[in-house]
Amino acid sequence: MAEAPKKLWGGRFSGAVDPLMDAFNASINFDKRMYGADCIGSIAYAKALAKNNIISETERDQLVSGLESVMKEWEEGKFVIVAGDEDIHTANERRLGELVGSVAGKLHTGRSRNDQVATDMRLWLRDEAQTILAHLKELISVVVSRAEKELDVIMPGYTHLQRAQPIRWSHFLLSHAWLWQADAQRLEQLIDRFNVLPLGSGALAGHVFNIDRHFLAKELGFRDIINNSLYAVSDRDFVAEFLFWASLTMVHISRIAEDLIIYSTGEFAFVKLADAYSTGSSLMPQKKNPDSLELLRGKSGRVFGSMSGFMMSYKGIPSTYNKDLQEDKEPMFDAADTLSGSLQITAGVLSTMNIFPEKMKASLSADMLATDLAEYLVRKGVPFRETHHISGAAVKMAEDRNGSLSDLTVEDLKTLHPSFEADVSKVWSFETSIENRNTPGGTAKSSVLAQIELLKTWLSKTN
């Protein structure tokens, strides 16, 4: 029977560890997904050891070849986890020893799992964040494309879920694209901020063999090294920042999901989801439920929960590495997985959804032009505070008659102010109202087209 692998930390201990504690302490079941980052980091470390003559070039080549074989086993699904593989570092070093022999024991010279795991996490998150960023930009591209094609569709704009002013459907879509662009910019800034190297810091006090940390940083694609070893092994601010970023981005996804859930109801009927992103009822045959959107809305709470849970673990940890930090990986992994899936589902929903422009236009009502009526008088020289009151009186007059604001005659309006003339009839045009909002950022066609071009230019520069 094969001897169980020795623990990396076991030399000081003579008694057996409680099997329950072994399981409680192990992280291999979730941190194994960092196998690639761990192997890549170790390959660079082997090269740095040889550069400093701590190992020979022959030993370096043995280690590099062995680590490449270990990584290949993981990639092909052939790696076998055995008892005693408590984490990805232990598992990889154990398998490396089986492949290349005792030289594997030299790989950990001057290195601690403390700086090793901090490096692995940054490498893993850097790659994952780039993938998420690509999904986010694809989602923005979907929205921009749709906004351009459906530029002439108009709909009610809402505040407090009450009809407010007419807007373009494209303007609504782009309002979410701009949120996601800000998310993309924040993620790019975050990647740059955490792309610094902890490796070479040892357990906490630094490296005893004067390893070339700048060489390591260059090998691993880090822009710089972390300049304090205590900080390097304990810092998980980048995890907290990523979890906050993920939470905020999921909130933005949840918001458009909520809008579209409302717009897909029979009472609105502005949009209809594709069958691919809907489900039915087990009891009511007529139902078509927007489950994709409801799941997106619900998963925002899941990601926020990951952030709040990690922050509660992180807040009271004393200096340098403590085992509490094992709680950093699962929320990071889960948030990354949830974001990646959610962004792709959102893009799928938005690219396949049908809209009903006639329903949107039918939901417009003349009372939404009350502000335009006030602005008509402003153009006649009446102060806005006065015109606002006059327009409100016109709304009340129409309501008292159980009619529409646009049904009021010039004579009716003249009872409220003498500046009303026959040309007031031009106010009762939703298209004119929209086109009057033509400053940058407005809902007029020229303004919306400008937004589309700005986002297109940004996408072309960042892809």
- What CA–CA distance (Å, rounded) separates 393 from 131? 56
Enter the tokens of residue 421.
Answer: 């003339």
- What CA–CA distance (Å, rounded) separates 136 from 132? 6
* Cβ partners under 8 Å of residue 321, min gap 6: 114, 203, 204, 233, 234
DSSP-based three-state secondary structure for 164 = strand
The set of catalytic residues is 160, 281
- Dihedral of CA atoms 89, 94, 96, 99 in degrees, nearest 10, equals -160
Contact present, 203 and 184 (Cβ < 8 Å): no
* Cβ partners under 8 Å of residue 6, min gap 6: 84
| Of 301, 312, 373, 306, residue with least CA distance to 333 | 306
For 280-356, where are the alpha helices, taking DSSP H only? 291-314, 329-352
Question: What's the full length of the chain, in residues?
Answer: 463
What letter does residue 168 receive in the DSSP assignment? E
* Cβ partners under 8 Å of residue 272, min gap 6: 264, 288, 353, 354, 355, 356
- What CA–CA distance (Å, rounded) separates 328 from 299? 19
3-state secondary structure 80-93: CCCCCCCCHHHHHH
- What CA–CA distance (Å, rounded) separates 292 from 283? 19
DSSP-based three-state secondary structure for 225 = strand
Contact present, 203 and 117 (Cβ < 8 Å): no
Contact present, 462 and 184 (Cβ < 8 Å): yes
Determine if residue 353 is left, alpha or beta; phi over 0 gives left, psi from -120 to 50 gives alpha, anything else beta. Answer: beta
In sequence order, what E strands does 17-147 have?
Answer: none
* Cβ partners under 8 Å of residue 258, min gap 6: 293, 297
| Of 77, 115, 116, residue with least CA distance to 93 | 116
- What CA–CA distance (Å, rounded) separates 240 from 234? 13
